[in-house]
Structure 1
Amino acid sequence: MNGRYTLFRAHDIRGKREAFAGTEGERLGAALALYFIHTLKVMRVVLARDARLGGAELQQQLLSVFCKAGLEVLLEPNPIGTCQFYYACLSHIDAAAVMVTASHNPASYLGMKLVGPNLQVISMGHGPAGGLELIQQLYEANEPINEIGRQGSVHMLDTLGAFITYSAELANVGSRDVSGLSVGCDFQHGSAGCAIGRALGELGVHYSALHLIPNGNFPQGDPNPGIEASMQDAKAFLAVKPLPLFFAYDGDGDRMDVLYKGRQLSPSLVLLSIADELVNLNKDGCEPTFLFDVKASPPLLFEMRRRGYKVAIVQPGHSAVKQRMNSSRTDFLLCAAEESAHYYYQLKGMDGTRYASENTLFYTLLILKAYKKNPSLFETARALQDAFYREREWSVSITDEQDRSAFLEKVQLYLLSKGAKAVSHDSRGNSLGATLYRYGLDEGATLSASWFQVFQRLSQSEDNLLRFEVLASDQGLGRSIAEAVKALQSGFHQTR
């Protein structure tokens, strides 16, 4: 492997754009083709990209290699969002698939997300023969493609209209349900604006769009609505035109922040607001379970249970969430929300089979439907969110492993001295992929008058990056905990 770059991540292939320069794209394409043909046993592949710089060149390299290997390529030649890509996969469920994207990362990054037949998760340790583990081995071995004597074929796809129709039908949303609403959207110059904007317009929703045109330079900043600097234009817009609902999407459109009356409503509380709508879409006699990542607030979990909903928690990350939703044999895990603003749902395939994946257009429409029907749902969720303190996720980069371990030890000693308990597995023994330091909490069943929860995790998508988030019963306690942890970071490079 190219020693200058780390390409193979926990959930996808991602790195600085120069890591894909020259023949590296062809080398990656050869590894993917070998994996598809010999491990997945498929001869068809969906190939798409978003608007990232270098994406068109990498897509062309992959196309050439796949055709050389004899694969039938189902090609989306124009930039699309990742959720539209997943729809293309649903429409060709027997094919493997590659989406050229680097999601919310800065403009200097490039990469790809991989899917197997039946929307099977392909990541590090997930997928046949270890998924990305085997693909990395094939890449490092640099094995050539053995031409089979015939050139593969190319079939052009244009799924935009069908994706919009599918998403609206999946949400059971027509113009009667959302027409007349006025909302704002910030597309961060990513690739989701075409589908979402067209869908809103066709359904009679008036939308004000910021940064609508796809632009891989991302002149507004990193295409990440979780970064305050990237949301400055949105905040300025809302100061002049205070719309009650505002949606912000990341670079490839599979991440969606919802702002209610100018402030973010955390994804778990968004799910609370539309829980009845989700249940109404799935009246098939099977009681659904709502899945939340480990950062979900204890008051939210308590309120979901109080209203009679079944809930469970899962470690964060695309692969972990989808794998959990697809593999459950005891519970119907209908949907999930990560506090990073990723939403998941048991999508319906063309034959009615369910596949866990993402569709932010579906969720956008369902949120609008719920809001038009009963705006007080969102007011109630906001009141619940305001009832506790949240220091939104921040990061600290520590490149030296010994320094990183020493820092984490200091954090642990401090939090244990405050009476917290460290939790790294759920009640069934499943890893949370993170450490929760919890004080005054009883597995979400009860809430003490004074409580806090600190989330700590090593990033699986970026090198040497530790992530933290603090929730607490009140601002004074939460801020004191967050400031103490940040004080221990002194001397290390920090990012947001």
Structure 2
Amino acid sequence: MNGGYTLFRAHDIRGKREAFAGTEGERLGAALALYFIHTLKATRVVLARDARLGGAELQQQLLSVFCKAGLEVLLEPNPIGTCQFYYACLSHIDAAAVMVTASHNPASYLGMKLVGPNLQVISMGHGPAGGLELIQQLYEANEPINENGRQGSVHMLDTLGSFITYSAELANVGSRDVSGLSVGCDFQHGSAGCAIGRALGELGVHYSALHLIPNGNFPQGDPNPGIEASMQDAKAFLAVKPLPLFFAYDGDGDRMDVLYKGRQLSPSLVLLSIADELVNLNKDGCEPTFLFDVKASPPLLFEMRRRGFKVAIVQPGHSAVKQRMNSSRTDFLLCAAEESAHYYYQLKGMDGTRYASENTLFYTLLILKAYKKNPSLFETARALQDAFYREREWSVSITDEQDRSAFLEKVQLYLLSKGAKAVSHDSRGNSLGATLYRYGLDEGATLSASWFQVFQRLSQSEDNLLRFEVLASDQGLGRSIAEAVKALQSGFHQTR
């Protein structure tokens, strides 16, 4: 805690920009340096940033501290997207890494994403010695670094060209596979546009770009394509120029909404559309498993199984997904999609070793390849999406813990009275990080004529925030369930 600000979150370091002001950046840098050197035994660190306001200043503070601590700094001095950052980590696999970003949060936020050697997840409870838990302890103890040793050096990185080449080769996409297509892109004034736009142009894709220039003021609104207000320009553009495929990326480019014929196609259904392409890239004898987060629709899981694909579900959050993909000893967890529009893949390291991480350029190219080859795949996915009702996620803010518990008890009693079963772990005992209330569903294997699923979770990135979403076999049932849950919110603050 710093001046009333919460910096250490479940998956990263993030807070209002003023929480990093003054010497706080140096204090955080010292905690990171101590963790990298003494716990990770790292001698090198990749240091990058996106275009956020205050990002350059924080990057400079971290650079100074890391050099004083004797670390060799591999520096990306200009704004890049987080997926390009992960590629830089992949290219320097023995290094720890810091990405200065606050992802899709408003312009007033700043933060950092952390990676250990071998693209190891560093978050709260994940990583050596508890990851962020130990870093927070070092920060709160205000431990000094040893400045008496050898001064660290700086090596400049420029990974743009090699990142594009790597991503295209990973997807096995050449100009023959995508040239001639016309698509739209909204980069939300974030940092991914340079790499994605250049890749599309080099491969012969005609793209119309909105909000391409990185701008940490984010004049179009929060750099979050999941917020309707931030997509108004995109919707207006598509009303005039109705392109079949439109991509929208968040502030650091690791979230990607896909709009098919003007409407969002849920990430799980995007994965369904390119499932054959993903399998074709991995014909090495291992039967792959597709991971979906707990909010994935039962019809999607049923359809994946019907087509012969192995599927599993995982709790949301990039740390949890990557940890699950990296730690499996029995299944080859090839890829994953979160309904928040994060996509994951077992990236190939320079020596062929696989590392679970994110690359939206890879997925963009693979989607274009699949669409050019067979557009009907996306039409089929859209028809499946339209076959059930979805009440999009909404949030409720309840500050008092006792009030929050009382509200959740009311929700549980209501849903159980409707015949639902509460599920919080998968069939192997892994936590889902949420509660699913399911009615008319048999572990996602079969569907009855009438069914519903209610997703309930306490946010891990925002304080005191409960998230809900309803899926149902038909609009009448779905709306009645959603309205009943919302009626129980009386007296509490619904945020969106």
Q: TM-score range by the shorter chain?
A: over 0.9
- 1:484, 1:162 → 2: CA distance? 52
Q: CA deviation at 1:480?
A: 1.1
Q: Is the 8 A contact 1:70 1:148 kept in 2?
A: no
Q: CA deviation at 1:3?
A: 4.5
Partner of 1:372, secondary structure, is helix
Q: Is the 8 A contact 1:438 1:452 kept in 2?
A: yes
RMSD of aligned residue pairs (Cα, Å): 0.7
- 1:272, 1:295 → 2: CA distance? 15
- 2:11, 2:62 → 1: CA distance? 20
> What's the CA shift string for 1:390-433, capped at 9, x where partnerless?
11111111111111111111111111111111100001111000
Partner of 1:286, secondary structure, is coil
Partner of 2:35, secondary structure, is helix
Alignment match, 1:275:
275
- 1:253, 1:493 → 2: CA distance? 30
- 2:276, 2:371 → 1: CA distance? 12
Q: CA deviation at 1:302?
A: 0.4
> What's the CA shift string for 1:184-229, capped at 9, x where partnerless?
0000111000000000000000001111111111111111111111
> What's the CA shift string for 1:80-110, capped at 9, x where partnerless?
0000000000000000000000000111110
Q: Is the 8 A contact 1:98 1:113 kept in 2?
A: yes
Q: Is the 8 A contact 2:99 2:114 kept in 1?
A: yes
Alignment match, 1:45:
45
> What's the CA shift string for 1:237-281, capped at 9, x where partnerless?
111111000000000000000000000000000000000000000
Alignment match, 1:164:
164
> What's the CA shift string for 1:356-397, capped at 9, x where partnerless?
000000000000000000000000000000000011111111
Partner of 1:489, secondary structure, is coil
Q: Is the 8 A contact 2:411 2:488 kept in 1?
A: yes
475-484 vs 261-270, greater mean Cα deviation: 475-484
- 1:94, 1:322 → 2: CA distance? 18
Q: Is the 8 A contact 2:29 2:66 kept in 1?
A: yes
Q: CA deviation at 1:21?
A: 0.3
Alignment match, 1:125:
125
Q: CA deviation at 1:490?
A: 2.1
- 1:335, 1:315 → 2: CA distance? 14
> What's the CA shift string for 1:101-132, capped at 9, x where partnerless?
00001111100000000000000000000000
Q: CA deviation at 1:314?
A: 0.4
Q: Is the 8 A contact 1:191 1:252 kept in 2?
A: yes
Alignment match, 2:365:
365
- 1:253, 1:143 → 2: CA distance? 34
Q: CA deviation at 1:11?
A: 0.4
- 2:484, 2:98 → 1: CA distance? 43
Partner of 2:110, secondary structure, is strand
> What's the CA shift string for 1:449-495, capped at 9, x where partnerless?
00000000001011111111110000111111111111222222222
- 2:407, 2:51 → 1: CA distance? 39
TM-score (norm 1): 0.99
Q: Is the 8 A contact 1:425 1:432 kept in 2?
A: yes
Aligned residues: 496
The correspondence of residues 421-440 of structure 1 with structure 2, limited to 5 A, is: 421-440=421-440
- 2:3, 2:441 → 1: CA distance? 45
> What's the CA shift string for 1:44-73, capped at 9, x where partnerless?
000000000100000000000000000000
- 2:411, 2:319 → 1: CA distance? 28
Q: Is the 8 A contact 1:190 1:253 kept in 2?
A: yes
Q: Is the 8 A contact 1:48 1:85 kept in 2?
A: yes
The correspondence of residues 132-143 of structure 1 with structure 2, limited to 5 A, is: 132-143=132-143
- 1:374, 1:448 → 2: CA distance? 31
- 1:485, 1:201 → 2: CA distance? 48
Partner of 2:194, secondary structure, is helix
Partner of 2:252, secondary structure, is coil
Identity %: 99
- 2:392, 2:360 → 1: CA distance? 22
Partner of 2:482, secondary structure, is helix
Q: CA deviation at 1:149?
A: 2.4
Q: Is the 8 A contact 2:98 2:112 kept in 1?
A: yes
Q: Is the 8 A contact 2:315 2:434 kept in 1?
A: yes
- 2:411, 2:419 → 1: CA distance? 13
Partner of 1:26, secondary structure, is helix
- 1:149, 1:335 → 2: CA distance? 43
Q: CA deviation at 1:148?
A: 3.9
Partner of 2:323, secondary structure, is helix
- 2:404, 2:430 → 1: CA distance? 25
Q: Is the 8 A contact 2:5 2:19 kept in 1?
A: yes
Instruction: List structure 1 runs of 4+ shifted beyond 2 angstroms.
Output: none
- 2:489, 2:188 → 1: CA distance? 31
Partner of 1:99, secondary structure, is strand
Partner of 2:147, secondary structure, is coil
- 1:326, 1:465 → 2: CA distance? 29
Return 5+ residue gaps in structure 2 as ranges. none
TM-score (norm 2): 0.99
Partner of 2:258, secondary structure, is strand
Partner of 2:290, secondary structure, is strand
- 1:293, 1:416 → 2: CA distance? 23
11-20 vs 394-403, greater mean Cα deviation: 394-403
Q: Is the 8 A contact 2:63 2:73 kept in 1?
A: yes
Q: Is the 8 A contact 2:9 2:460 kept in 1?
A: yes
> What's the CA shift string for 1:124-151, capped at 9, x where partnerless?
0000000000000000000111124221
The correspondence of residues 52-451 of structure 1 with structure 2, limited to 5 A, is: 52-451=52-451
Partner of 2:423, secondary structure, is strand
Q: Is the 8 A contact 1:50 1:101 kept in 2?
A: yes
Partner of 2:28, secondary structure, is helix
483-492 vs 310-319, greater mean Cα deviation: 483-492
Q: Is the 8 A contact 1:389 1:472 kept in 2?
A: yes
- 1:150, 1:358 → 2: CA distance? 35
Q: Is the 8 A contact 2:3 2:19 kept in 1?
A: no
